[in-house]
Chain A
């Protein structure tokens, strides 16, 4: 059973636009939801994370929206830049054991 489902698989956005990536999870016991950014040939790097007691968290151009009842959360990248082009993974879990989404390859066109 796939614990975390992520969409879309790939995304093309114009510079300055908003990139939106969605994830859904199964296990209601999950209590930590991080997003990672991965560049080719590198390991993932933590971008932003949220706990289920809040519905939104913003850090700079990056915002997580969280819907506990729907078991969904999303990443919004405002004013997307070419340097944001990377693969993004959502994750969900607890007790430091996490399941990852399938990834979204973002391409921001100049």
Chain B
């Protein structure tokens, strides 16, 4: 069964709206979660690393004020796309590792398709 639950799976909203995406780890605690963005027919681009109880680490070129990440508990990380515009339309995917140590299996959520009108 799924080890990472992502919600919602699809969002359509007007330009200027802020959208929150939730990522939950099921049956285990995730101190670190990763947020990716995927454009059609392209690869996954790491946006940021979410750390429980501390600030997220953003990849170069990702606006931290645009993409707000909160990791308030060991099972929940949220990504908020603030004042979304059509260029923010994309497939957003979260992931985490279910074990400790290096090179553990990485589990992905089913993604959130965000469409900004």
Which residue numbers of A lie inside 8 Å of B, CB to CB? 6, 31-32, 34, 36, 41-46, 49, 51, 89, 94-103, 105
Contact = CB atoms under 8 A, between A and B. Distances in A.
B102 A103 contact: no
B43 A101 contact: yes
B102 A43 contact: no
A104 B6 CA distance: 24
Contacts, number: 57
Given A32-B102, A32-B103, A94-B103, A43 B41 contact: no
Interface in B89-109: 93, 95, 97, 102-109
How many chain B residues sit at the interface, stated as a range, is 20 to 34
Nearest to B2: A43
A6 to B, nearest CB: 8
B44 interface: yes
A46 B106 contact: yes
Given A46-B105, A94-B102, A95-B102, A41 B43 contact: no
Contacts of B45: 100
Contacts of A99: 46
Given A31-B103, A51-B103, A103 B110 contact: no
